[in-house]
Structure 1
Amino acid sequence: MSVEFESRTCHIRRHRVGSLTSDIGEFLASVTYDDLPPEVLPMVRDAFTDTVAVIMVGIDQPVAEVVRKTLARPLGAAEARSCLSSERVAAPEAALLAGAIAHSLDYDDQSMSGHPSAVLVPAILAEAEFLGSDGRDVVTAYVAGYEVWCELWRRDRSYHAKGWHPTSVFGAMAAAAAGAVLRGLPADRAAAAVAIAGSYAGGLFSNFGSMMKGYHAGLAARGGLEAARLAAAGMSAGHDAIENPQGFLMAYSTQREPDLTSDSKLGKEWYLPTHKLLIKLHPTCYFLHRSFNGTVAMLAGRDVDPDEVESVEVRMGRGQVTCLVYERPQTRWEAEFSGQFGIAAAVILGKMGVPELADEVVQRPDIQAFFPKVRLVPVDEYDERDPVFSPTESVTLRFKSGEVLESGPIATIPGHASDPLTTEQLWGKFRECTAKTHTDSESRELFDLLQKVDALPSVKVLPTCTSIFQD
């Protein structure tokens, strides 16, 4: 053992009387619905509502059939409805499929450098249906999983740079935490569930721009539930698997300097009231939403000829630029992670919904010709709320005529934590997302039930969608 490694190990043992892993277990074993900050409840209801919406809009994506026919259906268990359909599968497989679909269009909510609801909601709905959990249990499990995600994420918040997808790194841990709460595991077993989930965590950044990116969320949802089930059955795991110098936090750390020693804030300071969800109005990586919206606003009322645009400069956080890797996207998957596509869509299309995120649109000659005009300029200022972002962004558009348009600082957009969607705005997205799977009345019934999810006697009362998975 090296002197440096031995010194770090001794330092940790000297200054930590308890264990972060065991502290998490104690929190999960003790948290109740009555403990939750009342102000987070509307946000959690919106998370369930929005996530079900993006599952339905993504139900016909290629990843749905690949996962469903390859993994979800063959196992034979009939524990939970698959994406609220009449098809029943094992709960972990229902979570796998719904998670993969929820994140398939990148239309799901965002926070903590990842996509918590695309992991937590599928996992919780599936396991809660199998266990017979009520709405209060469901919401408590969601908040507990969210808090564990944030407690781990805050200890070293730069993961993309090392090649990790934070959604699947922290999602497995969060889903295991939620599963432990739903099962009412005692502290030692709840700690074991999260420790086990550490070996399920992963997900490569290099898979962004493909079906695998969405599948990461499904893997995390299934892995977390399996970890909780294994812990309930007596599977052992490292008692300090998270904070050990060779454990979870160190393994995923970019600079290998994670916070291994500070006390857990779980149950003492709640993260969700300050690290709120960002709900999307566009099915792409959130990192390009502000510049897209700012450009649309800047060009409002103008009929712009894209050939007359000389250049567009977008200033945004270095972490954002790192993730927007496709300068010349050729597919809808690549366009989700292209700042160039976001600006082209703003200038040429004026909108960026599901129909615009199609291969035939991305490959249009006028769209392709615009990409070289767009330059992303990284800035090193970062938002304290999420350091991957810069506090603001700006867009400078130059015409060949010499005219220059400046967006000014763009700090927030509708759906951002500081500008949450109204119920009617959320309903508008929900109805659009469920248009192919539900009638107007069916959609409204489902929406209204999800908006009071914590009052449900069981998730089994959520209506079955009979229009999907009929083969």
Structure 2
Amino acid sequence: MGARTTRELAEFVVATGLKDIPAEVVDYAKILGLSHVGMNVAGTRMKMGQIVIRYVQAKGGVADAGIFGTGIRAPVEYATIANANAAHATELEDDSFPETMYSCGHWPPVFALSEKLNLSGARLLEALILGYEVAARLGLAFDKGMKKGWASWAALGTIGNAAAASKLMGLNVDQTVAAISLAASQSAGILKQTGSGAHIVEAGFSGRNGICAAELASMGYTGQPDILEGSHGFGYLWADTPAFDLALGDGYRIYAVGIKKYPCCFFKHRNMDGLLGLIREHNIRWDDVSSIDHGINVTHSQILKYDQPTSAEEARFSLPHCTVACFFDETVFLSSFSDEKAVDPKWREARKKVSVTVHQDWPKGGVEAFDSPITVTMKDGTVYSKLCHDSPGEPDNSRFGVSDVLAKYGKCMEFAGIFSDREIKEIESSVIGIDEVKDVSRLASLLTFPKRLQAN
């Protein structure tokens, strides 16, 4: 439907059920769930994930929902912050473009709220898909906001999460309108934060604030019912867009989510895959390389901004660091991005061989805007080059299926090292079949309380 007002958006959320969503979309959402669960668990073992877990644990409160892989339960909003932050700490979150929306901000609130309310997996999926649809469609309509420096994934994700939480709580249209309005007042996120902890935890804020908005609305709290549209509405203030027409449900945007292969910014994935292909094809050894150059546009240069990163977070947005990892590490995965490797003199010296040429005249935009050339010049003068077009896992050209996601999930669980093989298989089976799960709280308990952790 074409939604032009806050109320029409709320009407879509209230009226649409899982039965109205194409089966292929539902099936794809389920494998996205497995991808998310793996990164969520892995992130709880990482420094940035553990800082927020400690913050949440110190708050105490009602034990509504679990923080995966920790043996800790917390109030629903705090469990959401911890899980979303942990998932995003890996930078393995799955994204859709050009709206630039990420999955790691959407799974944790629906998981936590479904656990608290003892809801079914079908209800969880329904809310997830609809919430993502709201956020992503707003992202497409309000694209000028990103150009101004706002982070659509966090700000618009908050509104989408309010819609999802409203669906899970069974709110009516008026209440859902209020939830969206209250969420708009809590929507924030700044593009410049990429490469920092603030960028990571924004995923948690968007889930927490979305749930808060829906819970307040359920109690009778209100907001302006036309908050998104018109003069001085959210669209006007955030993106200079006072009018919009959202094609809600016209090809659900969650089906456009690309599944990440590497734990770093999606903008680098095709370059990494292309470079690894050149290395295999020509048996290239690092010691024989004189220089490597990547060609990118202005948009990518604003995100991939760290030539010499000083932390794991900056390394995930550094093309030179990823380039070196392709040579130095047997497999480029979570351990390739650490504080230690970021400042290691060997890695720092190696990154000096890598240059990034920013082409000011190329079209602006994400991976859809241009093809990225890689040029490897050897010390003997030989030159190897490749024009990188497709990112692995990108839906339009190389959509990942169940086997690809199982591999990613397995690597994440291995990295975490806290679940037994039997538990890993049981979680895998439950998530892939989550639409048949009668009560999400059992799955959440399995994810929260690994037996190895309890034994210690």
- Choose from 261, 264, 277 the match for 2:246: 264
Please, what is the CA RMSD of the aligned residues?
A: 2.5
In structure 1, the partner of 2:421 is: 440
Aligned to 2:130, the other structure's residue is in SS state helix
In structure 2, the partner of 1:77 is: 62
Matched, 1:133 2:133: no
Aligned to 2:268, the other structure's residue is in SS state helix
In structure 2, the partner of 1:244 is: 230
Deviating more after overlay: 216-225 vs 410-419: 410-419
Is the CA contact 2:230–2:243 (under 8 Å) kept in the aligned structure 1?
Answer: no
Post-superposition shift, 1:379? 6.3
- Choose from 302, 308, 313 the match for 1:328: 308
In structure 2, the partner of 1:398 is: 377
Post-superposition shift, 1:131? 1.4
Matched, 1:423 2:402: yes
Matched, 1:88 2:73: yes
Matched, 1:20 2:1: no
Is the CA contact 2:131–2:161 (under 8 Å) kept in the aligned structure 1?
Answer: yes
Q: What does residue range 186-225 of structure 1 map to in structure 2 within 5 Å?
A: 186-225=172-211
Which 5+ residue runs of structure 1 have no aligned equivalent? 1-16
- The whole-number CA distance in structure 1 between the counterparts of 2:79 and 2:330 is 37
Matched, 1:408 2:390: no
In structure 1, the partner of 2:326 is: 346
- Deviations along 1:293-316, whole A, 9 cap, x unmatched? 101101215453435433322223
- The whole-number CA distance in structure 2 between the counterparts of 1:397 and 1:374 is 10
- The whole-number CA distance in structure 2 between the counterparts of 1:452 and 1:18 is 32
Is the CA contact 2:260–2:392 (under 8 Å) kept in the aligned structure 1?
Answer: no
- Over 3 Å counting, the alpha-carbon distance change for 1:468 and 1:21 in structure 2 is farther
- Deviations along 1:23-43, whole A, 9 cap, x unmatched? 111111111011112211121
Post-superposition shift, 1:179? 0.2
- The whole-number CA distance in structure 1 between the counterparts of 2:173 and 2:332 is 46
- Over 3 Å counting, the alpha-carbon distance change for 1:382 and 1:43 in structure 2 is farther
In structure 2, the partner of 1:148 is: 134
In structure 2, the partner of 1:6 is: none
Provide the TM-score with structure 2 as the length reference: 0.91
Aligned to 2:93, the other structure's residue is in SS state coil
Is the CA contact 1:382–1:388 (under 8 Å) kept in the aligned structure 2?
Answer: no
- Choose from 284, 287, 305 the match for 2:267: 287
Post-superposition shift, 1:337? 0.6
Post-superposition shift, 1:19? 5.1
Aligned to 2:96, the other structure's residue is in SS state coil
In structure 2, the partner of 1:337 is: 317
Aligned to 2:34, the other structure's residue is in SS state helix
Is the CA contact 1:290–1:411 (under 8 Å) kept in the aligned structure 2?
Answer: yes
Is the CA contact 2:261–2:392 (under 8 Å) kept in the aligned structure 1?
Answer: no
Aligned to 1:279, the other structure's residue is in SS state coil
- Choose from 95, 118, 123 the match for 1:110: 95
Identical amino acids, percent of aligned pairs:
23
- Choose from 273, 276, 289 the match for 1:309: 289
Count the aligned residue pairs: 447
- The whole-number CA distance in structure 2 between the counterparts of 1:289 and 1:387 is 12
In structure 2, the partner of 1:8 is: none
Is the CA contact 2:85–2:200 (under 8 Å) kept in the aligned structure 1?
Answer: yes
Post-superposition shift, 1:353? 0.7
- The whole-number CA distance in structure 2 between the counterparts of 1:91 and 1:179 is 11
- The whole-number CA distance in structure 2 between the counterparts of 1:303 and 1:388 is 28
Post-superposition shift, 1:161? 4.2
In structure 1, the partner of 2:162 is: 176
- The whole-number CA distance in structure 1 between the counterparts of 2:295 and 2:331 is 21
- The whole-number CA distance in structure 2 between the counterparts of 1:155 and 1:299 is 41
- Over 3 Å counting, the alpha-carbon distance change for 1:360 and 1:304 in structure 2 is farther
- Over 3 Å counting, the alpha-carbon distance change for 1:455 and 1:381 in structure 2 is farther
Aligned to 2:337, the other structure's residue is in SS state coil
| Aligned residue identity for 1:398 | T
Aligned to 2:369, the other structure's residue is in SS state coil
In structure 2, the partner of 1:64 is: 49
- Deviations along 1:279-299, whole A, 9 cap, x unmatched? 112111111111011011012
- Over 3 Å counting, the alpha-carbon distance change for 1:421 and 1:75 in structure 2 is same
Provide the TM-score with structure 1 as the length reference: 0.88
Aligned to 1:405, the other structure's residue is in SS state strand
- Over 3 Å counting, the alpha-carbon distance change for 1:198 and 1:161 in structure 2 is same
- Over 3 Å counting, the alpha-carbon distance change for 1:447 and 1:115 in structure 2 is farther
In structure 2, the partner of 1:11 is: none
Is the CA contact 2:88–2:203 (under 8 Å) kept in the aligned structure 1?
Answer: yes
- Over 3 Å counting, the alpha-carbon distance change for 1:297 and 1:350 in structure 2 is farther
- Over 3 Å counting, the alpha-carbon distance change for 1:416 and 1:335 in structure 2 is farther
Aligned to 1:154, the other structure's residue is in SS state helix
- The whole-number CA distance in structure 2 between the counterparts of 1:470 and 1:27 is 47
- Over 3 Å counting, the alpha-carbon distance change for 1:84 and 1:186 in structure 2 is farther
Aligned to 2:301, the other structure's residue is in SS state helix
| Aligned residue identity for 2:343 | Q
- Choose from 367, 374, 389 the match for 2:347: 367
- Over 3 Å counting, the alpha-carbon distance change for 1:62 and 1:295 in structure 2 is same
- Over 3 Å counting, the alpha-carbon distance change for 1:166 and 1:88 in structure 2 is same
Post-superposition shift, 1:155? 1.3
